[in-house]
Amino acid sequence: MLLAELDHRNIRLHERVTESLVHQRYKFGRILGQGSSAMVYEARHKRTGKEVAIKVIKKDDDMNDDESMATELELLKVVHHRYILNCHEIFETPQCI
């Protein structure tokens, strides 16, 4: 019943909670780069102080189908190299990963 009421009122709770969680953990800095469907931000983990890059991929059926997004995420999880982006955490909302 609660989920139906949230949907009826057009309240995107999952998106708000996820965005809040990301911003609680990381302090965002400048944009490092962007493409047609993603942006990469400079960021710092608030607890550890570790500098990271955060890639935000827009979910867009025209650009990023489920299969290609799944492939990219799987590759990022298994590849560990100092010159290649490493995946440490994944957050997902209905609009982006």
Measure the CA–CA gap between 24 and 21, rounded to whole angstroms.
Answer: 5
> For 15-70, what is each residue's pLDDT tens digit?
555 777 888 889 999 999 998 888 899 999 999 999 998 888 887 766 667 777 77
pTM: 0.69
Residue 20 burial (CB count, 10 A) = 10
Is the pLDDT at 73 greater than 70? The verdict is: yes
Task: Provide the pLDDT for residue 9.
Answer: 57
Backbone angles phi, psi at 30, to 5 degrees: -75, 165
Model confidence band, residue 1 (pLDDT cutoffs 50, 70, 90): very low
| DSSP secondary structure letter of residue 79 | -
Q: 72-78 long-range contacts, Cβ below 8 Å, gap at least 24?
A: 73/97
Task: Provide the pLDDT for residue 5.
Answer: 52
Residue with tokens 């909670």: 17
Measure the CA–CA gap between 32 and 8, rounded to whole angstroms.
Answer: 38
